[in-house]
Amino acid sequence: MAANYKIKTLTEFIIERQSEYPHAKGALTRLLNDITTAAKIVNREINAAGLVDILGYEGKKNIQGESQKKLDVFANEQFIAALKGGAECCAIASEENEKIISFENEFSEMGKYVIAIDPLDGSSNIEANVSIGTVFSIYRRKTDAGEGGKVEDLLQPGINQVAAGYIIYGSSTMLVYTTGKGVNGFTLDPSVGIFCLSHPDMMFPETGSIYSINEGNYIYLDECIKQYIKYCQKEDKKTKRPYTSRYIGSLVADFHRNLIRGGVFMYPKTKKAPSGKLRLLYECNPIAFIAEQAGGKASDGFNRIMEVEPEALHQRSPLFTGPISMVEKIEEFIRKYKE
Ligand code: AHM
Ligand code: MG
**Res 26: pLDDT:** 83
Please give the radius of gyration of the chain, using alpha carbons only, rounded to the nearest integer.
20
Q: Tens of pLDDT along 293-322?
A: 999 999 999 999 999 999 999 999 999 999
| Cα separation values, 93 from 39, 162, 229, 282, Å | 17, 16, 34, 8
Contacts of 130 (CB under 8 A, 6+ apart): 122, 248, 249, 250, 253
109, amino acid identity: E
Distance 248 CA to ligand 1 centre (A): 9
pLDDT digits (tens, 9 = 90+) for 204-238: 999 999 999 999 999 999 999 999 999 999 999 99
* Amino acid in the structure at residue 267: Y
Q: What is the pLDDT of residue 126?
A: 83
Q: How far is the CA of 167 from the centre of ligand 2 (A)?
A: 13
Q: What average pLDDT does the chain have?
A: 92
Residue 144 has pLDDT above 90, yes or no: yes
Residue 1 — very low, low, confident or very high, per pLDDT cuts 50/70/90? very low
Position 66 pLDDT exceeds 80: no
Q: Structural domains in the chain?
A: 10-199 (3.30.540.10), 210-336 (3.40.190.80)
Closest atom of ligand 1 relative to the 124 alpha carbon: 4
User: How close is the Cα of 253 to the center of ligand 2, in Å?
Assistant: 12
Q: Whose CA is nearest to atom 18 of ligand 1?
A: 214
DSSP, collapsed to helix, strand or coil, labels residue 221 as: strand
CA atoms within 13 A on the CB side of 191: 0
CA separation (Å) from 129 to 48, 123, 169, 214, 261? Answer: 11, 10, 10, 19, 22
- Are residues 211 and 323 in contact, defined by beta-carbon separation less than 8 angstroms? no
Ligand located closest to 66 CA: 1
Q: How many C-beta neighbours within 10 Å does residue 64 have?
A: 12
List ligand 1's pocket residues with C-beta within 6 A.
Answer: 66, 95, 118, 121-123, 214, 249-251, 267, 277
Express each pLDDT in 85-143 by its tens digit. Answer: 888 999 999 999 999 999 998 889 999 999 999 999 998 888 888 999 999 999 999 99
Establish whether the linkage from the previous residue to 242 is cis, with ω within 30° of 0.
Answer: yes
Residue to mutate (ligand 1; options 61, 121, 271; most atoms within 8 A of CB): 121
